[in-house]
Chain A
Amino acid sequence: MSTSTTIEITGLGKSFGPVRAVDDLTFSVRPGQVTGFLGPNGAGKTTTLRMLLGLVRPTEGTATFGGTEYRNLKDPLATVGTALEASSFHPGRSARNHLRVYARAAGIGMKRVDAVLAQVGIAAFADRRVGGYSLGMRQRLGLAFALLGDPGVLVLDEPVNGLDPEGIKWIRSFLGQLAAEGRTVLVSSHLLSEVQQSVDRVIIISHGSLVYEGGLAELESGPRVLADSPDRAALESALLAAGAEVETTAGGLAVLGLTREQVGSVALSAGAALSLLATENSGIEQAFLELVGEGGSL
């Protein structure tokens, strides 16, 4: 692995004619962590990544790897590994030959091709033409391409798309492992839940602009406890008296500020029999939806 670098994006903007795809975006991605790059469909994730990789020319601003633009990197594939959303394969070429072509272009040995094919679990189909590959197999081949140069930085656009549960589990632990080795890992997704368990930090954009940059824990407003009782009014007043924030939802009362155990004991001392007591984990998802505009931005 070459030394890992920080991704630095400064004042980045892109207009496709009248469409403002990315607007004044500034953030950085540090080594040793998995960073999630989130936003609803059309938020500008792919466009941002393609600008970072020198494939799309920014209208304004810069995107660098430790100060060096992608096109000026001395050994691009050995510095940054990339798997972009679109399947960029010739359907008539085998997976092995696909990787060999770009290994040759980057001066990478042919042994490395076999190694990454095995690493992503498609060695058995490597000599089949890619045209017959399933979506999940293509994703894995895309990942193999990203790993080809054993890079210190990984930029992955929606890598979980099309993977089976087994594959999702595998990629989550794999990304964590890569970050633990000290690499910089940037993973985009339009679903928070998809990356929630595997990212250390998130960058959230909406309509091309940054809306949040930071840890997942800070994003969360705290877990909510759902509780209900046949005597809902009594339970509510007891909880309010205990200093909780209470919201009435369709399924019962959503309680903020108390743990599940505390809610239980409040109910007991108030003499309100509980018909429901559970912790709700969708706090982050809720915060995410609020940030990007509920129901997506389209």
Chain B
Amino acid sequence: MTTVLTDAAAALRAEFSKIFTVRMWWVLLIVLAGYVGFTAGILALVFGGVGGALAGGGNAPQIPDAALPAIIYSIASSVGYVFPVLFGALATTAEFRHQTLTPTFLATPRRGLVLGAKFAVLAVVGAGYGLVALATSVGIGSSILAATGHDTGLGETDTWWLLARIVLAMAIWAVIGVGLGALIPSQVAAIVIVLAFTQFLEPILRLVATFWDWTASIGQYLPGAASDALVGSSIFTSLGMATGQTQSLDWWAGGLVLLAYAIVAGVFGYFTSWRRDVT
């Protein structure tokens, strides 16, 4: 028992140091922070009145003032979620690409333990990504809201629960990345699939799903939709409400669906590529 625990602790330490001894983690983090901060800032300006006044008021989509802070803050996950999933996939496929599975499995022959440690470590890193993304979306968003005379929502506990769920969503997305990386060991293929699905395919599927009732009930199980359900607010769902049918899971169900994606990808990845011969 104790050896299992010390082995697990050693595997976790090793996986952590793998992440922080290569530049990738902060490169992606800086891009995430910039992208989320910029988007949140633009959104706060557009909906927060300055832009509304410029556009003449009538044409801007209508979003109730009370929902505004949540929509702007949740840019951290609704737009930023692609970064933790990409990072998880890159960290995992790098092991195949650079053949570092060889020294890894030599040091830790129990391969399941290595994959489990990667899951745990990437969850922590994903949560860290979430915190940094929130620092910019909340930092910039709330400043603009306050400056334009809106409520920042930061006085309410509900807002802080929202922020906590955003961190959780980002953590699960990073773990999904690990599962995908184990399932699709080719780094290039994994990157293409992550980007094509999150940036192109899923938004279209979610839009199409709003056309009918029965598709909407399926659409809520798409990973992005489940993530938005977990967070409880998103620019996409807010706009969707105005245009068609949407259904959304409860926040906890959304979280479980998202986690299920991670686990299914990880388990399939383990039984296909992770256990294979390392030649």
Contact = CB atoms under 8 A, between A and B. Distances in A.
Interface of A: 46-47, 50, 53-57, 70-74, 76-77, 82, 84, 86-94, 97-98, 100-102, 104-107, 145
B106 A77 contact: yes
Nearest to A72: B109
B10 A107 contact: yes
Nearest to B16: A104
Given A50-B279, A97-B21, A90 B107 contact: no
B100 interface: yes
Lowest 3 A-B CB distances belong to which pairs?
Answer: A105-B14, A97-B21, A105-B107
A70 B23 CA distance: 33
B94 interface: yes
B110 A56 contact: no
Given A77-B106, A106-B10, A88 B277 contact: no
A24 B196 CA distance: 48
A252 to B, nearest CB: 47
A87 B108 CA distance: 18
B104 interface: yes
Given A53-B106, A90-B22, A104 B14 contact: yes
Interface string B1-45: 001001000110110011001111000000000000000000000
Contact of A88 (B13, B24, B103, B108): B103
A12 to B, nearest CB: 14
A46 to B, nearest CB: 8
Given A55-B278, A56-B279, A100-B17, A105 B108 contact: yes
A56 B276 CA distance: 8
Contacts of B21: 93-94, 97-98, 100-101
Given A57-B277, A93-B22, A101 B17 contact: yes
How many residues of B sit at the interface, in one of the four size bands? 20 to 34
B125 to A, nearest CB: 15
A46 B99 CA distance: 15
A97 B23 CA distance: 12
A55 B98 CA distance: 15
B211 interface: no
A103 to B, nearest CB: 8
Highest count of chain A CB atoms <10 Å: which of B3, B18, B108, B110: B18
A91 B109 contact: no
B105 interface: yes
Given A92-B24, A104-B10, A145 B17 contact: no
22 contacts: A55-B105, A55-B277, A56-B278, A56-B279, A73-B109, A76-B109, A86-B99, A88-B99, A88-B100, A89-B98, A90-B18, A93-B22, A94-B21, A97-B17, A98-B103, A101-B17, A102-B104, A104-B10, A105-B14, A106-B10, A106-B108, A107-B6
A73 B105 CA distance: 12
A88 B278 CA distance: 11
Contacts of B107: 76-77, 102, 105-106
B277 A56 contact: yes
Highest count of chain B CB atoms <10 Å: which of A86, A91, A104: A104
A50 B104 CA distance: 14
B102 interface: yes
A87 B109 CA distance: 19
B273 to A, nearest CB: 14
Nearest to A87: B99
Interface in B66-101: 94, 98-101
Given A47-B279, A94-B21, A107-B6, A88 B98 contact: yes
A54 B100 contact: no
A79 to B, nearest CB: 11
A107 B21 CA distance: 18
B208 to A, nearest CB: 40
Nearest to A21: B279
Contacts of A102: 14, 103-104, 106-107
Given A55-B277, A91-B98, A104-B17, 7 more contacts: A50-B278, A55-B106, A87-B99, A89-B100, A102-B107, A105-B14, A106-B107
B13 A90 contact: no
A284 to B, nearest CB: 31
A105 B108 CA distance: 7
Contact of A101 (B18, B278, B279): B18
Interface string B94-133: 1000111111111111100000000000000000000000
